[in-house]
A and B are shown apart, each in its own frame.
Chain A
Amino acid sequence: MNPYRTQRLAFSLLFLANALILVLVGFVVVVIVQKGLPGVTWQFVSDVPRQGMRAGGIFPAIVGTLYLVAGAIVFALPIGLLAAIYLSEYAKDNALTRLIKLAIVNLAGVPSVVYGLFGLALFVVFFKFGASILSGSLTLGIMILPLIITASREALESVPHSFREVSLSLGASKWQTIQNIVLPNAIPGILTGTILGIGRAAGETAPILFTVAAFYLPLLPGSIFDQVMALPYHLYIISTQVPNVDEKIRYGTAFVLLALVLFMNLVAIVIRYRFRMKKKW
């Protein structure tokens, strides 16, 4: 066969493989928007679930997810950022650094349901926090740690070396240099990683199954030791565990969850894009 014809055939097949993925992604988003959007009214997002979750809204689940995500970030951002500073500014190229990197890769690869088990064993049972916002947030926080470390490290490492050298040559200490020169220039990248972490934490179900999520709890939490409902778990419940839930409520919940996660990703993309435009080096 003519090599050029083979090439045309191969490229068409590759294109089709790609197009199929894209079409399916589009299909998922379009179906959820089309069937979910009409059900999303002010009453739906501001009311508690009623009649065994077959009517009413999803307000407690939205609030629960926001609490969990906030808790996860408060825990993971400081540790993740300092870990990234260590890897990019202090670490030498030795066995310890390689071990840390391997640990990060592994932490990122641990199945989400195993995080759930871990959270149950450590926070709920061992520390006796019970099923609570605290347990759930810490579990989610550890889960998104590798994501935040990796993104922050890339951001820090992309700050040119000459910036650091100038600051050091002017008599600034290492930490002063990091604080005043490296960090401000890396903030957009760190922010992007953090926001992606938020999106990830908001959408995960398995880690919160046994650490915080409540089947049905139409109250807002009073303290961090309370259980809450959460959006992804609520979607799981009304689509598999509760019979005869109106399609509008299921799709509406899926829409709100997807919109929340995609909005986070969009914000991250916008920050990255604007930063690339402004970048001075």
Chain B
Amino acid sequence: MRKLREFIIEKLVLLCGLASIFFVLLIFLFLLREGLAVFQTISPAAFLAGKSWYPISEPPALGILPLILGSLVVTVGATLISIPFGVGSAIYIAEVAPKRVKEILKAGIELLAAIPSVVLGFIGMVTLVPLVKNVFHLPTGLTALSGSIILAFMAMPTIVSIAEDALYSIPKTYKEAALAMGATHWQAIWRVMLRAASSGILAAIMLGIGRVIGETMAVMMITGNAAVIPHSFFAPVRTLTATIAAEMGEAVIGSEHYFALFAIGIVLFVISFAINVTADLFLHKRQ
């Protein structure tokens, strides 16, 4: 009896353990199921490289290049801002800050991670957007730049916490050896520790980028949502995620537009999968 119970429980627990694999496959399967139908009317090349996105005109134009470039512009901007701030903060927290200051800083970063994206989008709309408009004398503040700034902010908790872990996990002896050779603390950080932690820091940056590409609400609220090929940081753009969020509500189930939005979902899923697997490899290389 007891043996049987143990057996049943073991299988049940194994089943739940497998649930994550099951759900990842299920998500991919259902995205494919709904999204691949769009390729009956448009070739994958025309879908990915098509220059215009007019999904409800007759016939619909379903090229997502403007959306890919929109995501790219916003992501590049956010990455450029968040790398120095994020990695810098991680170094400060891991190496420089006194214990009490460290606790406060970590609590602040955790607080930032907890703020819902729609709240940050709202605050961005009422504070950052008018600021960008006035500073750069633009017709509208709803631009790629505003999106990049907010997204950089949202990527910060990911980058800081993973980069900080990476710095912590370097053997103490590396630092001690550098200090014993007469290096200053900063020289030890700059020339020894950052290099030793480089794969972990790279993983942190990649996961930060993953966060930025997948972010939806804030970006939809402050980038202006113009589905055209972006020519500068100071123009409105439309990202892949915002397109799905903004248009799925109106798309008729089973229409080409509906399938195309799912196909965008496939693109996003593949990008996030690639980023996570690569970052995971980097994280494990270290150990």
Contacts and interface: CB of A to CB of B under 8 A. Distances in A.
Interface stretch (A13-21, A38-46, A47-55): A13-21
A109 B211 CA distance: 7
B221 to A, nearest CB: 6
Given A18-B89, A116-B248, A117-B248, A206 B116 contact: no
Nearest to B89: A18
B9 to A, nearest CB: 5
Contact of B18 (A11, A18, A100): A100
A21 B20 contact: no
Contacts of B156: 21
A85 B17 CA distance: 8
Contacts of B105: 18, 22
B236 interface: no
A205 B217 CA distance: 7
Nearest to A121: B30
A147 to B, nearest CB: 11
B213 interface: yes
Nearest to A6: B186
A168 interface: no
A145 B23 contact: yes
B248 A210 contact: yes
A91 B14 CA distance: 8
Interface in B1-41: 2, 5-6, 9-10, 12-21, 23-24, 26-27, 30-31, 33-34
B88 A18 contact: yes
A121 B120 contact: no
Chain A interface, DSSP helix/strand/loop, else mixed: helix
B111 interface: yes
Contacts of A78: 16
Nearest to B93: A18
Contacts of B110: 265
Interface stretch (B46-54, B166-174, B226-234, B265-273): B265-273
Contacts of B21: 99-100, 103
Nearest to A8: B186
Interface string B140-175: 000000000000010010001000000000000000
A105 B17 contact: no
Contacts of A269: 107
A10 interface: yes
A281 interface: no
Q: Most chain-B CB neighbours within 10 Å: which of A18, A28, A85, A105?
A: A18
B119 A258 contact: yes
Chain A, interface size: which category?
35 or more
Given A6-B186, A113-B214, A79 B16 contact: yes
A104 B210 CA distance: 15
Given A7-B186, A104-B20, A254 B119 contact: yes
Nearest to A123: B30
B31 A114 contact: yes
B118 A173 contact: no
A206 B111 CA distance: 21
B276 A105 contact: yes
A21 B10 contact: no
Contact of B216 (A83, A112, A145): A112
B229 to A, nearest CB: 22
Interface string A236-265: 100110000000001000100110011001
Given A7-B185, A236-B221, A13 B88 contact: yes
Contact of A21 (B16, B112, B121, B207): B112
A110 interface: yes
B85 A17 contact: yes
B265 A114 contact: yes
A82 B16 contact: yes
Given A17-B89, A142-B23, 8 more contacts: A4-B184, A90-B13, A109-B210, A111-B268, A113-B265, A115-B27, A117-B262, A145-B19
9 contacts: A18-B97, A21-B153, A22-B108, A82-B13, A86-B14, A108-B276, A109-B276, A111-B269, A175-B10
Interface of B: 2, 5-6, 9-10, 12-21, 23-24, 26-27, 30-31, 33-34, 84-85, 88-89, 91-93, 96-97, 104-105, 107-112, 114-123, 125, 127, 153, 156, 160, 184-187, 190, 207, 210, 213-217, 221, 241, 244-245, 248-249, 253, 261-262, 265, 268-269, 272-273, 275-277, 280
Interface of A: 3-4, 6-7, 10-11, 13-15, 17-18, 20-22, 24-26, 28-29, 31-32, 78-80, 82-83, 85-87, 89-91, 99-100, 102-118, 120-122, 125-126, 142, 145-146, 149, 173-175, 199, 202-206, 209-210, 232-233, 235-236, 239-240, 250, 254, 257-258, 261-262, 265, 269
The 7 closest A-B pairs by CB, nearest first: A111-B214, A203-B116, A86-B17, A82-B16, A7-B186, A17-B88, A14-B92
